Structure 1
């Protein structure tokens, strides 16, 4: 029997948090938007209230050589707040190295104008979708 629920992808940054979600069949990741770190929990709550959520897939910012650095501490603080707000939804960390660069490359490939490619909000929400899609690709 099919388990109809979404996965939520999260790309945490100091200034912005990119969100993405899957369809209920968990086949494709789509960008949702970019939010300030203080406003993102309101949007996550809205998504969780609107449909079942199986798990949060969070980008884990390792250094190029695979170590944890200062950015992982920031993401861990975000995870702690998310766990407190939604204790029954599992949180899965996914290596997010180079997703911002891949997001920029993807926008170039699909013909997004240069001015729009420079918008960091756009990059962050596409990076969240790439993190989520990477998880889907590895677990299906």
Structure 2
């Protein structure tokens, strides 16, 4: 399944299908889920980054278990909005994930999501550095997915 934009993704979703947000990192993949009304994104967890086939199988299983109808992958654009190597790698990975899972997948600008979430969690002294990294990945996925959900709500309804 090819990559979609948010409008195309919204057009193919069932009325109560959730969205899965993905923050792709070098070592871990942060995951977030929307509610069935697609209003609120919540951190779900993080999985270790492995070969695409293994990650796609795990993501597909999570999607089936939680009623996910589509995926939003964070696109790490450069600060000036250009597509650098990290964004191109994320785009390629997202396209391969869409193909492997059969789920409609869109990209969403995730600039500064990890930095914003990290600043928010710095005061959490009771979290170990490793645990904080896992929390940051899931929280960054939720931050990014919330931005996409907010944009979806601003789209005009499809014309019939």
**TM-score greater than 0.5 by the shorter chain:** yes
Partner of 2:141: 128
Give the root-mean-square deviation of aligned CA atoms: 2.1
1:91 equivalent among 76, 100, 105 = 105
Partner of 1:3: 15
- Structure 1: gaps of 5 or more residues: none
- Residue 133 of structure 1 deviates from its aligned partner by 0.6
Partner of 1:40: 55
Partner of 1:72: 87
Give 3-state SS (helix, strand or coil) of 2:36's partner. coil
Instruction: Identify if the C-alpha distance between structure 1 residues 52 and 102 changes in structure 2 by more than 3 Å, giving closer, same or farther.
Output: same
* Match status 1:106 vs 2:120: yes
- Structure 2: gaps of 5 or more residues: 1-13, 154-160
TM-score, normalization: structure 2?
A: 0.75
Give the Cα–Cα distance (whole angstroms) in 2 for the partners of residues 86 and 40 of structure 1: 10
Aligned partners of 1:94 and 1:131 also within 8 Å: yes
Give 3-state SS (helix, strand or coil) of 1:68's partner. coil
Give the Cα–Cα distance (whole angstroms) in 1 for the partners of residues 64 and 127 of structure 2: 35
Give 3-state SS (helix, strand or coil) of 2:39's partner. coil
Instruction: Identify if the C-alpha distance between structure 1 residues 80 and 139 changes in structure 2 by more than 3 Å, giving closer, same or farther.
Output: closer
Runs of 4+ in 1 over 4 A off after TM superposition: 114-118
Give the Cα–Cα distance (whole angstroms) in 2 for the partners of residues 14 and 123 of structure 1: 14
- Residue 23 of structure 1 deviates from its aligned partner by 1.6
The alignment of Structure 1 onto Structure 2 pairs a total of residues equal to 136
Instruction: Identify if the C-alpha distance between structure 1 residues 50 and 14 changes in structure 2 by more than 3 Å, giving closer, same or farther.
Output: same
Give the Cα–Cα distance (whole angstroms) in 1 for the partners of residues 129 and 37 of structure 2: 30
Give the Cα–Cα distance (whole angstroms) in 2 for the partners of residues 107 and 98 of structure 1: 14
Give 3-state SS (helix, strand or coil) of 1:139's partner. helix
Give 3-state SS (helix, strand or coil) of 1:55's partner. strand
TM-score, normalization: structure 1?
A: 0.85
